Amino acid sequence: MRYKVKVQTLTNVHVGTGNEIEPYNYVVKEENGEKEFVRIDFFKFMKGLAEEELNDLLKLLDGNNNIFLAAFLEKHLDEKAILYSSKIEGKFDKNARFLEMPRDSFSQKPYIPGSSIKGAIRTAVYAKWYENTRDRNRIDNIRKGKELEARLSNHGYWNNQRRRFIFKMEQDPFRLLTIGDVKFKNEDQEITQSIYIHLSKGRDKSKEVYLESIKGSLNAKKEISSFTDFAVHDQVYRVRDSRQIPSKRLNLDFIVNSCNLYYFNRFRQRKNLYLKLAEEERIFQTDVRSLLGKIEEKFGEIKKFNEKHSDEKKCIIRFARFAQIENYLIKEDREERRTRRYHPSGYPFGFLMLHFIPES
């Protein structure tokens, strides 16, 4: 079954590439009290310099003085060397580190990888399969994540002759689920501070960074969304001892219900923790309780929508740390993370709403 999916951010979403933006790849401009982050194509920038200017640039790079380097870049910056620009939200530190989001190499538009959305869905679905398993004690003793997944979804088995677990990755049911990358407009993105709070140590400014992120609809007070393609195909089988053994079946209803249940429960479990940390640190100007209430209202609205509609469905997912990895939360279910990152507004990062619309 094929669908069009409207992907709407609820809070700011950052999916990292693992790369930090180097000081020679950007400048920060200030005008009328507003700061703008300008990303530079460094090779085009160098091509536009005279020989004497190029020598000055090389000396600045060798000297490792970022303040003088930034002044030089801004003075000699040509429009042809600009890749894109983004508004900086919140306070700005000149020594800040910037973490980038994936971008289309041609248009430079930011995008959320389909693999990241698939990973968030996969996490919720596997959590549901784990909840439904009968042999919970044996499953809990498995320490290898891939083997745990294979046992839960029936795409692997223990071979007594070889005395090892056999994976049948071609029969992983998630191979039958495809979702495209979600491209957003440049104006949908901003550079924002990520406020880092440790559960026992409090706020740690040394670990705070600036993130390229897609704006959240709740914070922006307008809808920030884009469309992509989604498909769930037929069930797969693996053959064992001349028998066809089905893998776990995936369909849209099961996916949507798993996501809403899993991410709502996780949100409720962490709601009081978010409030406690925010109130103890006293760093937000807004009422964090009311912000979290708006997220909770979205879960309620989606529940009512799904009860009224049999063809279209909605669900909420959340990206956390390592969202660029396809399955990133199985371990987190067992070992509670000790840190939280907040947007300067007080919203937690990473909440997305998916609206599945059948293709005619």
Q: Is the pLDDT of residue 133 over 80?
A: no
pLDDT computed for residue 190 by the predictor: 92
Position 105 confidence tier, pLDDT thresholds 50, 70, 90: confident
pLDDT computed for residue 231 by the predictor: 93
pLDDT computed for residue 174 by the predictor: 83
Which among 22, 101, 11, 105 is positioned nearest to 323, based on CA atoms? Answer: 101
pLDDT, tens digit, for every residue of 39-82? 999 999 999 999 999 999 999 988 877 889 999 999 999 999 99
Position 136 confidence tier, pLDDT thresholds 50, 70, 90: low
**What's the angle, vertex CA 356, arms to CA 353 and CA 358, rounded to 5?**
170
pLDDT, tens digit, for every residue of 329-353? 444 444 445 556 778 888 889 999 9
- Choose the most confident range, by mean pLDDT, from 138-142, 145-149, 168-172, 187-191: 187-191
pLDDT computed for residue 329 by the predictor: 41
pLDDT computed for residue 332 by the predictor: 46
What's the average model confidence in pLDDT over 35-40?
A: 92
Position 141 confidence tier, pLDDT thresholds 50, 70, 90: low
pLDDT, tens digit, for every residue of 205-250? 665 788 999 999 999 999 999 999 999 876 655 545 545 555 567 8
Tokens describing residue 31: 């005008």
Higher-pLDDT residue of 339, 94: 94
Residue pair 258/124 in contact (Cβ under 8 Å)? The answer is yes
pLDDT, tens digit, for every residue of 187-207? 999 998 887 776 666 666 665
Which among 177, 169, 20 is positioned nearest to 114, based on CA atoms? Answer: 177
Helices (H), 203-320: 217-220, 252-281, 288-308
Q: Is the pLDDT of residue 301 over 90?
A: yes
Q: Which parts of the chain are beta strand (E)?
A: 2-9, 20-21, 26-31, 34-40, 82-89, 98-99, 111-112, 156-159, 164-167, 177-179, 182-183, 189-198, 202-203, 209-214, 225-232, 237-240, 243-246, 313-318, 339-342, 351-358
Residue pair 200/126 in contact (Cβ under 8 Å)? The answer is no
Question: What share of the chain has pLDDT > 90, as a percent?
Answer: 44
Q: Residue written as tokens 């160098």?
A: 46
pLDDT computed for residue 75 by the predictor: 93
Residue pair 56/71 in contact (Cβ under 8 Å)? The answer is no
pLDDT computed for residue 204 by the predictor: 62
Helix or strand (DSSP H, E) at 153? helix 145-153
pLDDT computed for residue 248 by the predictor: 66
pLDDT computed for residue 298 by the predictor: 96
Position 255 confidence tier, pLDDT thresholds 50, 70, 90: very high
Average pLDDT of the residues of the chain: 82
**What's the angle, vertex CA 140, arms to CA 135 and CA 144, rounded to 5?**
120
Q: Is the pLDDT of residue 327 over 60?
A: no
Which among 83, 71, 239, 222 is positioned nearest to 170, based on CA atoms? Answer: 239
CA distance 50 to 48: 7
